[in-house]
Structure 1
Amino acid sequence: MVTGGVSGRPHAKLPRMNPSIHEQPLPYVDLLPERAAEAVDLVVIHCTELPDLAMAREYGERVLHASGTGNSGHYYIDRDGTICRYAPGERVAHHVRGHNEHSIGIELVNRGRYPDWWDSRRQSMTEPYPALQIDALRALLAQLRGSFPNLTQIAGHEDLDTAMMPATDDPALEIRRKLDPGPMFPWDAVLRDSGLLRIGGDHP
């Protein structure tokens, strides 16, 4: 299991309940397929791999599919713990290959490999996740468990999308498409008291 990487004050033993959520629906949110709350059994943790929330919003609004929708998580958490909802959990968002229909995507603002995502020489992810951001994530997970009765599992994007691709600097080399949330993400702190089981990947 990957651990470590949280900066700032220690985490409280239990997450705060009922976190404040800013409703910021995507322009195409009504075009996303609807589903019952009971269909959700998984939450997927991402990092934006972008410098700030404003750029993440810009990427999320881009229309990429014939349906008139784009790629986006349901929730975005900024470094200061601010939580924004771009799509309700009862809508299917495009955030992870093969698991969209039954999962909720949570994006944490973090630079990741930005701006050289697929350069073989730039695959280190070194930005820590601030304590305020992780505390907000834990509170959000607690709230989601109360709203989605079958939510029992959690995974990182890297656990579920393990596809390889040619590196942009040398097509003879293959790199992982997705590495988020990456080695700095504090899985131990997030899983503690969460009631969720981490799935996928090579972790215990």
Structure 2
Amino acid sequence: MRLFGTLYARALVWARAPRALYYLCGLSFVEAFIFPVMPEVMLAPMMLGKRHKAFFYANISLLFSLVGALVGYALGHWAYEAVKPLFSPHMQQTVSIWVENLRTDMNQHWLAMLGALMLAALQPVIPMKFVTWAAGIVGVPLLPFLACIAVGRGKRVWLLALLIKLFGERAERMLHKHIEWIGWAALVLLVLLLVWWLWLR
């Protein structure tokens, strides 16, 4: 089933549209809290089309990712509180223990938590939405949360801009060729990480 390839093809169409910049803003925004496709799939062809604007596009994407991260953070907090009463008493207790353990870890290992947030925003394996929702549920302080997301996601989009400037169309062809494998590999790895974490708990 070609899920990620189809989504990638749709993003390429958006990237070449007259209103591509608006689509990029929208994609960067919703990807931070719900949409499964990374904004890089639009960024790459847009940067290729106008290489002199590569870092401008990167900064625009970063800005709207940060706004979306705020939405994900708020949804994580408010949705968790709203949905929790719908759980069974046993499930409420299990989830509450899980959240409290994370909060304890965050308070005891502050620097490690900041580093984990930056790494989570930097790498493409764990989707951004899981990071923003989890931060809202656990209650990571807002300003450090935004700073970590800005540094992590900023490195990603700036690195893409640099690669496009250095390698041009070769970088885009590689992404196009392997997008399906990359997407499914990331999804499988996410499931394995979740199973491993639950097993440790």
Report the TM-score when normalising by structure 2: 0.25
Higher helix share: 2
Higher strand share: 1
Please tell me whether Structure 1 or Structure 2 has the larger radius of gyration of its CA atoms: 2
